[in-house]
Amino acid sequence: MSKTATVDRDPPVVRVRGLRKSYPGTENAVLDGIDWDIPRGRVIGLLGRNGAGKTTLMRCLLGLLPVDEGEIEIFGEPMDEPRGERLHRIGFVPQTFDLFKWMRVGSYLNFTAAFYRHWNRTLENRLVDNWGLDRRAKIGKLSEGQRQKLAIIRAMAPEPDLLVLDEPVASLDPQTRAAFMNELIDVVRHYGKTVILSTHITADLERAEADIALLDGGRLVLEMPLAELRERIRKVELTRACGWSEPPEVAGALSSEVAGTRLTLIVDQVGDAQLGAIAKQYEAELSVERITLEDAFVALA
């Protein structure tokens, strides 16, 4: 599937060209020639199957993993390793947070704040209170969800220009997850920050009206705003009294499923006129529904 690039007059916050990364003992490259421009002031939802390389891509972007080939620029400068001025402008939440288990929550936040030129204490205090974190508790005694909350606070309090979040809400309860997404959306809309968010919870990306980037086979096979994706990929139902013995061949169909009298299709770039002609050909009643991001992801992946 061809890619649709987001057009933005400002230079990209992240620019990637020809990124390639392999691991010893693997036959195929995890990342195989990634080209990617990430614009300012957007939430980018990075999707892909388990093992598609999302975590590898994020860590390469931040200089936490060496790359085999390619160029990475962040804020217009080569990203060889996380150092200097850029550290103050980047926030990162990894999948797991296992550091400093012996420290208490409050001490850890004070310790971390000392490394940044700016730290929003008001935001820190609000999130700590709203998310029910005990400043006196040792990090090693926190639940997985509580540690994830702490990692998010650590990443957001410096108010970075770029937030890179690797499955940040997987361990959060629904109420905290909703509160976090509201904070994230507010940061992007009011302060022009950029967020790269890897998640399997597609409803969160729909809430943020994110741009979608789909990683498959070591490449980014799709990049586009969610609104454009919904216009391009649609869910179609064709119903007829005699039923369907098997799904017919339909150009542009990503998936098809028969259930009695109903044929359900997920189609890509199939216009209303073409759908009407298909319905007429098979003497079927036509219904077109707005697709969910989860359905689109399953069909594309």
> What gap in Å lies between CA 37 and CA 283, rounded to an integer?
46
| pLDDT tens by residue, 106-142 | 999 999 999 998 999 999 999 999 889 999 999 999 9
Q: Are residues 187 and 236 in the same domain?
A: no
Residues 207 and 290 in one domain: no
Contact 179, 130 (CB under 8 A): yes
Q: What is the pLDDT of residue 219?
A: 92
pLDDT bin (cut points 50, 70, 90) of residue 86 is: confident
- Report DSSP state, residue 292: P
C-alpha distances in Å from residue 246, one per residue of 13, 234, 260: 48, 21, 10
Place of tokens 């926190």: 142
Asked whether the predicted pLDDT for residue 60 surpasses 70, the reply is yes
Q: Are residues 21 and 104 in the same domain?
A: yes
Average pLDDT for residues 252-263, to the nearest whole number? Answer: 91
Q: Which domain holds residue 241?
A: 232-300
The verdict on 176 and 292 lying in the same domain is no
Residue with tokens 């974190």: 133
Q: Which of 191, 217, 243 is the endpoint of a domain?
A: 217
89 and 147 in a single domain? The answer is yes
Q: How many domains does the chain have?
A: 2
The CATH number given to whatever domain includes residue 65 is: 3.40.50.300
Residue pLDDT, tens place only, 268-301:
988 889 999 999 999 999 999 888 888 888 888 7
User: What CATH number is associated with residue 282?
Assistant: 3.30.70
- Per-residue pLDDT, 82: 56
- Are 258 and 138 in the same domain? no
